[in-house]
């Protein structure tokens, strides 16, 4: 699921927390932050600390991925495909006299 703002991130964290039956206090303890901080991040606070956000995602077992120009692609989309040598194929089917 894609997202681009702290507000969206907050909603996703809340969803994941509830899906695990955790309370804000539970998550706060698991992530090593104050309960108040969880309240803030779930509300989409944009000036929250980046590091604590990572801790929180880790505590929820969530993983982030990023993609775009200049970002390495995952191996699965880099599978090598045998590319036929067009000239050779054409040559093999050509009239020997042409």
Judged by beta carbon, residue 8 or residue 49, the one nearer DNA is: 49
Distance CA 50, CA 56 (A): 10
Binding to DNA (CB under 7 A): which residues in 1-20? 18
Distance CA 81, CA 98 (A): 32
Q: For residues 60 and 50, is the Cβ–Cβ distance under 8 A?
A: no
Q: Which does 35 bind (CB under 5 to 8 A by kind): a copy of itself, DNA, none?
A: DNA
The yes or no reply on residue 57 touching DNA (CB under 7 A) is: no
The yes or no reply on residue 47 touching DNA (CB under 7 A) is: yes
Distance CA 44, CA 47 (A): 9
User: Site residues (CB under 7 A) for DNA?
Assistant: 18, 23-25, 32-37, 39-40, 42-43, 45, 47-49, 52
């Amino acid at each position: 699921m894609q997202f681009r703002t702290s507000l969206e991130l907050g909603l996703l964290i809340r969803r994941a927390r509830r899906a695990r039956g955790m309370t804000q206090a539970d998550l706060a303890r698991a992530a090593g932050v104050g309960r108040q901080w969880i309240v803030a991040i779930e509300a989409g606070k944009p000036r929250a600390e980046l590091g604590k956000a990572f801790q929180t995602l880790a505590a929820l077992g969530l993983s982030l991925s990023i993609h775009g120009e200049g970002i390495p692609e995952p191996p699965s989309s880099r599978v090598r495909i045998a590319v036929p040598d067009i000239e050779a194929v054409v040559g093999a089917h050509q009239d020997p006299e042409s």
